[in-house]
Amino acid sequence: MTRVLERYDALVKTGELRPDTEQAAAAARLDILQQALEAVPKRGSLLWRALKGPPEPARGIYMWGGVGRGKSMLMDLFHECLSIGRKRRVHFHAFMQEVHALLREERKKESGDPIPPVAAQIAEDVRCLAFDEMVVNNSADAMIMSRLFTALIVDHGVTVVTTSNRPPSDLYKDGLNREHFLPFIELVQERLDVLPLNGPTDYRLERIGGIETWHTPLGDQATAKVREAFFRLTDFAPEDAAHVPSAELDVGGGRMLHVPKSLKGVAVFSFSRLCKDARGASDYLAIARHYHSVIAVGIPEMGPENRNEAARFVTLIDALYEHRVKLFATAAAEPEKLYQSGDGSFEFERTVSRLMEMQSDEYMALGHGVMD
């Protein structure tokens, strides 16, 4: 059995991680939580049945801070080391999409309030729920979160561990009907330890420092550059490139989008998959919310015959830009030469401007999420 703190200390000793006071404190707290969760007898065992009622749930953790501070790395260590059966790690946006789907099915039964049975269904399969990037951007999520998570944590003893770019008090800031969301903030502050990971060093930005983001012309050299960016962002061994995991991204309406390479918030797509296939704004918004970095390969020069692809590309870049997603690309030309004639070519100039800004140091330093 491996402990979180042991793994973290070993990474520091070998030089894979730099000493970082806030990371070390978070690792120590995650280690305590790991021990607490593993000390609970397996449900249904003799020790479990000997308990007088269900065990007191372990106190959760809310890690927050700017991009590149090590939140996902620590979550990786925790989830890998945690030796219990009923654990789940999921991106927060994907989890809430699942919740809304379950609520829709429960409402069809017309059996009353749908939230308690949905919470019970989720809790049946999980004792520790780990989220990446908790962010609340819409009123539909905000309206149900306090009741849903009260049921999960208080009624069913689920332990929640999450990361976020914002402190709890800033979640859904200035959102519509925010007063309905405030009980969720109170729940987090009461039931979870809030740990800041907001030191001065952006380790992710350091890893990609010096790498340009737009590579032209198409060819082996451009491919090698974005490949290097992928492996710097994910720490995945280049020699094992054939085994980078893929994913199926829920883009809404019961549709899934295949992501050929998906790891640690980084996605790799071909231009053809993104813009030649029939896609809409909801597809691109799902990508922008789920991934902090996107690598798009094979962007061609486009003409009048490619007006549909150009229009989709505009929508894609709008979604990525508005969510501060970092874009790495291989392209046949510089942005200003991608689409010079055809329907919408004049409007394409705004996309060119955004593509240029997205290459700047200032943009690269922004945290992932909707711009304020």
Rounded Cα–Cα distance for residues 5 and 347 (Å): 53
pLDDT at 372: 43
pLDDT at 55: 60
Q: Quote the pLDDT of residue 326.
A: 92
Residue 160: per-residue pLDDT: 96
The 3-state DSSP class for residue 91 equals strand
| DSSP, residue by residue, 56-78 | PPPPEEEEE-STTSSHHHHHHHH
**CA nearest to 132, candidates 79, 54, 185, 173:** 79
Please write the tens of the pLDDT for every residue from 199-228: 766 666 666 666 789 999 999 999 999 998
Tokens read off for 229: 């960016």
CA dist., res. 21 & res. 27, Å (int): 10
The two domains 4-196 and 203-364 share their CATH topology (first three levels equal): yes
DSSP string, 304-335: GGGHHHHHHHHHHHHHHHHTT-EEEEEESS-G
Please give the distance of CA 278 from its chain centroid, rounded to a whole number. 25
Identify the CATH assignment for 203-364 out of 1.20.140, 3.40.50, 1.10.8, 1.10.443.
3.40.50
Quote the pLDDT of residue 205: 64
Which pair of structure tokens corresponds to residue 315?
């929508």
Question: According to the model, what pLDDT value does residue 252 have?
Answer: 79
Q: Which two tokens stand for residue 232?
A: 């710097």
- At 250 the pLDDT is 82
252 by Cβ neighbours in 10 Å (0-12 / 13-18 / 19+) ranks as middle
Hunting for tokens 């032209």 — which residue is that? 216
Strands 293-299, 266-270: pairing kind: parallel
Going from N- to C-terminal start, the domains of the chain cover: 4-196, 203-364
Give residue-wise pLDDT tens across range 247-258. 888 887 778 899
User: Rounded to an integer, what distance in angstroms lies between the CA atom of residue 299 and that of residue 218?
Assistant: 8
Residue 45 has what pLDDT? 60
Q: What is the pLDDT of residue 207?
A: 66
153: part of which helix (H) or strand (E)?
none
Low-confidence spans in the chain with pLDDT less than 50? 372
pTM exceeding the 0.85 threshold for the entire prediction: no
The class of domain 4-196 in CATH terms is: alpha beta
Beta-ladder partners of 183: none
